[in-house]
């Protein structure tokens, strides 16, 4: 038996319960992990509230990221042994492979030996943010050192990961955040420019910064009315990669800019990378190199104990964090 987090109905953070449950043995191709830390993601709040792309059978577990020690390996697993320190790559289905628990079982293909210099908290904060940012900026957009990239929701864990990855290859980063409260923190974290979209004219500021060349790459999880100023400042042949839908307002289609500049508006899910073994291996190599060199270093906003999972979700939904929320087990 092990403690796990489940919910029996959709709703707010208060529906989360810590329960005792039998955890499956490691089957063929699987490993069982004694969890030390969990990384929280907005997708988990969406699953819990009933608004995620996956509809689980209730009661359901949840969670996409964990780090810990391998306790057992199943038949056919090579390269892992009990006692190895590992972290989990987000699975396609968190209802099938939930990470919120003291013991979890995952396919060995979704597990990575992370650099030993990482703490458990940092290791639990790696894969969702860096895989998401890598897939969009490097795998799809082919970002280069000559590019200017706009990163919206820049103080989120994925936004901060994108800033670091863009800086690794020498691109110029324009971070967009709602207010100026986090402006200095974003500059200190590596953004070349920061725009507070609720306080400044986004289109005017983007054009001032980028100049006549414009912006080739935009990385956005918001959607909604922001599409119009973003595309207005883009260069001919640019690409806007949308990986979320946080805005409650309708998203206009900027027809004139898309046509006149031959823009690409591209929907993106991290599953494109995690579901393709070849692309995933390239991503893992890039990220592990960055972690080892120190170019990539997860920003931890706040750490909660496992017993405060409800409070951790409340903090997640308050949108006050700068970086990743982590839960220790």
- 270-317 pLDDT, tens digit per residue, is 999 999 999 999 999 999 999 999 999 999 999 999 999 999 999 999
- Residue range 28-43: average pLDDT? 96
Distance CA 8, CA 16 (A): 8
**Strand 111-112 vs strand 234-242: parallel, antiparallel, or unpaired?**
unpaired
- Does residue 320 register a pLDDT over 90? no
Helix (H, G, I), strand (E, B) or coil at 166: helix
pLDDT at 24 over 90: no
Contact 13, 70 (CB under 8 A): no
Q: Is the pLDDT of residue 112 over 90?
A: yes
Domain boundaries, given as residue ranges, for the chain = 2-126+298-328, 129-271
Nearest to 48 by CA among 327, 254, 316: 316
What pLDDT does 53 receive?
84
**pLDDT over 90 (residue 321):** no
Rounded mean pLDDT of 91-104? 94
* Closest alpha carbon to 106 in 20, 206, 169, 25: 25
Mean predicted lDDT score pLDDT of the chain: 95
Q: What is the pLDDT averaged over residues 20-45?
A: 94
Average pLDDT over residues 236-246: 94
Cα dihedral 309→249→175→232 (10° resolution): 160
Rounded Cα–Cα distance for residues 258 and 180 (Å): 30
Contact 304, 315 (CB under 8 A): yes
Please check the confidence at residue 156 and state whether its pLDDT lies above 90. Answer: yes
* % of residues, the chain, pLDDT over 90: 92
Q: What is the per-residue pLDDT for 190?
A: 96
Omega prior to 253 cis, within 30 of 0: no
Q: Using CA atoms, how far apart are residues 231 and 240, in angstroms rounded to an integer?
A: 8
Compute the distance between CA of residue 34 and CA of residue 67 in angstroms, rounded to an integer: 8
Name the fold adopted by 129-271: Rossmann fold (3.40.50)
pLDDT at position 214: 87
The pLDDT assigned to 77 comes to: 95
State yes or no: pLDDT of 159 exceeds 90.
Answer: yes
Helix (H, G, I), strand (E, B) or coil at 147: coil
CATH topology of domain 2-126+298-328: Quinone Oxidoreductase; Chain A, domain 1 (3.90.180)
Task: Report whether pLDDT(319) > 90.
Answer: no
Gyration radius of the chain over CA positions: 20
What is the pLDDT averaged over residues 89-98? 93
Average pLDDT over residues 103-114: 95
Distance CA 108, CA 96 (A): 15
In whole angstroms, give the CA distance from residue 186 to residue 153: 11
Can you read off the two tokens belonging to residue 89?
């790559």
Return the pLDDT at 96: 93
């Amino acid at each position: 038996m092990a403690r796990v987090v489940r919910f029996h109905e959709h709703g707010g953070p208060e529906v989360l319960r810590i329960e005792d449950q039998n955890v499956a043995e490691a089957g063929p191709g699987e490993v069982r992990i004694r969890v030390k830390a969990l990384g929280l993601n907005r997708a988990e709040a969406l699953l819990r509230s009933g608004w995620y792309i996956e509809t689980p059978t209730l009661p359901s577990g949840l969670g996409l990221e964990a780090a810990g020690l391998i306790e057992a390996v199943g038949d056919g697993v090579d390269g892992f042994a009990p006692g190895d320190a590992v972290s989990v790559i987000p699975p396609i289905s968190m209802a099938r492979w939930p990470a919120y628990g003291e013991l979890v079982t995952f396919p060995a293909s979704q597990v990575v030996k992370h650099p030993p210099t990482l703490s458990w908290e940092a290791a639990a904060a790696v894969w969702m943010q860096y895989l998401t940012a890598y897939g969009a900026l490097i795998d799809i957009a082919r970002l280069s050192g000559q590019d200017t990239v706009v990163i919206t929701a820049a103080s989120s864990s994925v936004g901060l990961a994108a800033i670091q990855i863009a800086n690794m290859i020498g691109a110029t980063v324009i971070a967009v955040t709602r207010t100026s409260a986090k402006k200095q923190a974003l500059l200190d974290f590596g953004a070349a420019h920061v725009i507070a979209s609720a306080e400044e004219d986004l289109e005017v500021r983007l054009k001032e910064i980028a100049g006549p060349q414009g912006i080739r790459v935009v990385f956005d999880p918001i959607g909604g009315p922001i599409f119009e100023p973003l595309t207005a400042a883009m260069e001919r042949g640019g690409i806007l990669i949308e990986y979320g839908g946080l805005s409650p307002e309708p998203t206009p289609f900027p027809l004139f800019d898309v046509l006149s500049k031959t823009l690409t508006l591209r929907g993106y899910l991290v599953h494109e990378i995690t579901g393709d073994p070849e692309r995933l291996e390239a991503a893992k190599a890039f990220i592990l190199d960055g972690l080892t060199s120190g170019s990539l270093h997860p920003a931890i906003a706040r750490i909660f104990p496992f017993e405060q999972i409800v409070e951790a979700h409340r903090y997640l939904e308050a949108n006050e964090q700068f970086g990743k929320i982590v839960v220790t087990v």
